[in-house]
Chain A
Amino acid sequence: MNSIVPAAVARQPWQMLIPLFVLVGFGAAVLFSAAGGHMQPFSASHIVRFGVFLLMASIMVRFSRNFVKFAAFPAYGGVLLLLLAVEAMGAMGGGSQRWLNIGPLVLQPSELMKPVIVLVMAKFYATLPSGMIPTWRALVPAGALIAVPMGLVLVQPDLGTALAIGFGGALVMFLAGLPMRWFVGAGAAGAVLAPLAFFFGLKEYQQRRVTTFLDPENDPLGSGYHIMQSKIAIGSGGFSGKGFNEGSQSHLNYLPEPHTDFVFATMAEEWGLLGGLLVIVIFGIILRWGLQVAKRSNDRFSKLLAAGMVGTIFFYVAINLMMVMGLAPVVGIPLPFMSHGGSSMMTNMICIGTLMMVNRWNRESPRSGLSG
């Protein structure tokens, strides 16, 4: 309080922001290397985007709780319309498409849906009377809210994003206190339906990704190539890596997508296990801070919103890292704050901005000591 640092600066959540800056900076360094030792085309735009979206986040921080609550359903509806617009564009363009070109901006509405689904679910359960929680009224509207965007994204087809949306929504449902047996039941049903979905629901290339994930050596030059090369990159890095700008897997193009989905492999090749642990620990710090924000907040909406945002970032990180280490099929999910790409940066910065916003709400109206 009596510091020489201005209060407006001092009250920022530096315990999260500093690790985040480190992570983004590290990401920029890796992208510098992935571009063959140049700031262009990846590294510079990565930092610029982060700056732009950080600005966006700091504006978000100023939103009031009531405004956010009020905006939840309109935002959901808006993004849903954008998703429909993508479908319509795709149908007219004679092929599937995930992007909307709005002037110079390339917008991927399915990315926006990830934080928005959390927002709308938090709003839904915050307004739902507690007594209705164990009834169908808690489940059916929420299920519909999740199913519609998931369905739209699935037909794009984009399995990874659809799963992320489903995960965010389900997480909020879980934390909202829906009866446990529903989740157990859904898990059991999922176990039964997964094979059916695999054989009848997935496209052939998606099926192949799954089978390849189970046995990558079986098809080293086909779809197993990505997983093999990624593991080679990580494994050849060893404890401390080959050195900055020395990664052969990424520099000689053996590693597919060294700047987006496989950026972690690019990093691990040059920085080794130490770099990998640093990234994992930083994500741990950021996510733990997010959970604390959720825990400290004193209303149901804020809690669910913050926790859902944490879950969304977590889903990105966990699936991406599992994919590059050969623990999950290749689903095309980038690593937050490190992968090059505007849509992913935007989504994750919306999540971070939301968490900072909830953090501000907490600070400005501390929860009462009585409400346990």
Chain B
Amino acid sequence: MLFGKKNRPVVSTATLRNAYDRRSFVIGTMGAGVGMLLAVRMGYIAIAENEKYATEAESNRVNLSLIPPRRGWLLDRHGAPLASNRADFRVDLIPDRLTNPEKTINTLGELLGLDAAALAELKDKVGDARGFQPVEVGSGLDFSQFAAVSVRLPEMPGVVPQRGFSRFYPTGPAVGHLVGYVGPASAEEYELDRNPLLITPGYKIGKDGLEKQFEVKLRGVPGARRVEVTASGRIVRDLDTREDIQGNPIKLTIDGPLQDYAARRLGLESGSVVVMDCATGDLLCMASMPSFDPNSFSDGIGRVEYSMLSQDERVPLRNKVLKGLYPPGSTVKPMVSMAFMKEGLDPEESVFCGGGLRVGNRVFRCWKRGGHGQVNMAKGIYQSCDVYFYHFAQRIGMDPIALMARRYGMGQQFPLPVTSQFYGTVPDPKWKMEKYGQPWAAFDTVNATIGQGYMLANPLQLAVMATRLATAKEVMPRLVLDGKKPRFRDMGVSNEHELLIRQAMSDVVNGPGTAGRGRLPFDDIKIAGKTGTAQVVSLAKSDGKSGPWKYRDHGLFIFFAPFDNPRYAGAVVIEHGGGSGAAYPIARDVMTFLFDAQKGLEQLYMLEKQWGGTAQERLARKYATFAAQAGEAVAPVPRRDEEIFDRVDAEARAAAQQPVTQATDAAINRSDIGDSAPPSAPQDGADE
């Protein structure tokens, strides 16, 4: 450029000025070029890509937060909530927005009734907190406190009263296994269902039982709140809010007060009560105790409370109605009798019971060592004579009995909205060959006919069996009310046979049978049933009635009432109750409550006085003791005392007024039943 191809370029002032002019022109042009480039670039960003960046600026600015939807209620058959939502009032502080922290906190302390220690702790927390992280002042507040804080908001900047909902189960442990509980979604659950709602703080999904089964229906539609936020996440102002839509309620066949009563009546025992409506198959009650309090699960159960539940040998975490499998014991005898008659056995044909029967090289004893003397079918049932069944079962064979057992619901899985059900075993020769590779032996039949040996059933199956015995229809249990009245196939049992079995089962209680103290305290309503005792260990190890709890016999009782026109049927199973004497008094009281709530409650109050409070109270006390041993201080759970929720406990039934009467055809007009019943025999004793 610069003259310069020669070895000695001649450089003078003039050439330099010339060079300056050319070069400064180049520089000026390049500068102008850069200016043009910048203008074009800016035009491109601001005009061509405007839409993209406007969207991004908006998504920066606006923060969309989901408002968890209120969960649908779970209602009992009368429309009272078994699971509802409690308005949960809480107050938070945003330290960064406090103008006068000392004064604000003191005012809050006054309004919320915080003590000095709580105030000091709160002040520490506010001191340590940084920025916009809210500090919780109080939760579970009642409405008056919440309102008091809300009214004084203008003078307390930085105080944020919030309203949320938490799941509430008015009868607590009574519905724990049936209804399940809710909790925050786990990582696995979020993997399965990538719904952003699941990771919204405060949202809880059904974790067990009906809450889990009906999750989608109960969930509802979340609301949304659009707020303007700064880069550091501070909320500047609310833009708009969409209300949530509450999930659909689900109306169950369960009778809330009955469920509560049955659960409480189980008392200190470990067991379950199932009651069904004979006409519809409606499950009125599926109580399983001991249980957990789904309220504390839903609030996020503590480590101590969980370890208390999981260490308990009475497995409060297992739903015994569906997942407890027991040898049905003598409760199968009416069903076995049906099989006998179907195979042509004359019910009057009798056998002599001398206290035992030799089968092969082994003597099978009747439960009554002294023997029953001459026994026909009816006596075989009401006296529960084992020898009668040993004898005729060998004649009839196992296959007809197994077939009949299945028809009566044993080994059956029912189409219910439950997370799982164990369906047990109805053994027959084919099954044994498959399972153990051994041929069926005569003593297997003998064992099976008295419901021992391989035979296993859950309490729901036993209740279905009782219902089918009572109605001679293939009644199917159901858990959800759909307004339809189901129709069931006939079992194909002759009326004569049906009546004979019913009468024999009535005699178990009302005649010379094994459950004489199971009578209902009514003149005109009689209960029919069948006792059962299932051995857990051999007689050599324990007599089944005393000794270590876990070696005691299971007590069982299946029943229906009234015996001549069955409306309700069910089953009670008491784990290690020491015999059926532990089971049928419970059935008696539950049925008493069903026909006359007041009478049932009187009995319950007497017992609860001995046991030391209701199931909920005992559970709370047990937890406190356990926690004390574990060395942890337990804050007492604040009692929830809104009256509206008290409609599903047993007392609500007894109250003269029913707040809601959405009676179905299965409901009973309680005012005209049994005011003049004789006093009951309240002792619980083993008759077998």
Chain A residues close to B by CB (< 8 Å):
130-131, 133-134, 171, 174-177, 179-181, 229, 231-239, 248-249, 252-254, 268-269, 272-273, 276-277, 280, 283-284, 287-288, 291, 294-295, 300, 303-304, 307, 311, 314, 318, 321-322, 325-327, 371-372
Contacts and interface: CB of A to CB of B under 8 A. Distances in A.
A294 B46 contact: no
A287 B53 CA distance: 31
Contact of A280 (B2, B35, B45): B35
A232 B61 contact: no
A371 B34 CA distance: 32
A233 B35 contact: no
Contacts of B21: 295
A314 B2 CA distance: 25
B2 A134 contact: yes
A147 to B, nearest CB: 22
Interface string B583-596: 00000000000000
Select the residue from B28, B34, B57, B61 with max chain A CB neighbours within 10 A.
B57
Contacts of A239: 46-47, 50
Interface residues of B, number: 47
Contacts of B228: 248, 252
Contacts of B495: none
B36 to A, nearest CB: 9
B17 interface: yes
B565 interface: no
The interface residues of chain B, by DSSP majority, are classed as helix
Contacts of B153: none
A45 to B, nearest CB: 24
B60 A325 contact: no
Contact of A180 (B2, B17, B43, B236): B2
Given A231-B53, A325-B38, A249 B60 contact: yes
Interface string B1-25: 1101000010111111101110110
Contact of A133 (B16, B231, B236): B16
B173 to A, nearest CB: 48
A295 B43 CA distance: 32
Given A175-B24, A236-B54, A252-B229, 6 more contacts: A130-B11, A175-B20, A179-B1, A236-B50, A273-B42, A288-B28
7 contacts: A177-B15, A235-B45, A235-B56, A236-B53, A307-B20, A327-B37, A371-B17
Nearest to B14: A372
B41 interface: yes
Contacts, number: 153
B38 A321 contact: yes
A60 to B, nearest CB: 23
- 7 closest A-B pairs by CB: A235-B53, A236-B57, A180-B1, A177-B19, A253-B231, A252-B230, A248-B61
Contacts of A268: 42, 46
A269 B20 CA distance: 40
B39 to A, nearest CB: 5
A133 B1 CA distance: 14
B301 interface: no
B2 A177 contact: yes
B16 A277 contact: no
B23 A234 contact: no
Given A175-B24, A179-B2, A231 B34 contact: no
Contacts of A134: 2, 4, 9, 11
A171 B28 CA distance: 12
Contacts of B61: 248-249, 252, 254
A174 B31 CA distance: 15
B32 interface: yes
Given A130-B11, A295-B21, A235 B50 contact: yes
B361 interface: no
A232 B42 contact: no
A119 to B, nearest CB: 17
A307 B24 CA distance: 8
Contact of B27 (A175, A253, A276, A326): A175
Select the residue from B4, B14, B20 with max chain A CB neighbours within 10 A.
B20
B24 A238 contact: no
A327 B16 CA distance: 35
B189 interface: no
A280 B39 contact: yes
Select the residue from A131, A181, A232, A249 with max chain B CB neighbours within 10 A.
A232
B232 interface: yes
A234 B37 CA distance: 16
Contacts of B32: 284
Given A177-B2, A273-B42, A325-B38, A287 B31 contact: yes
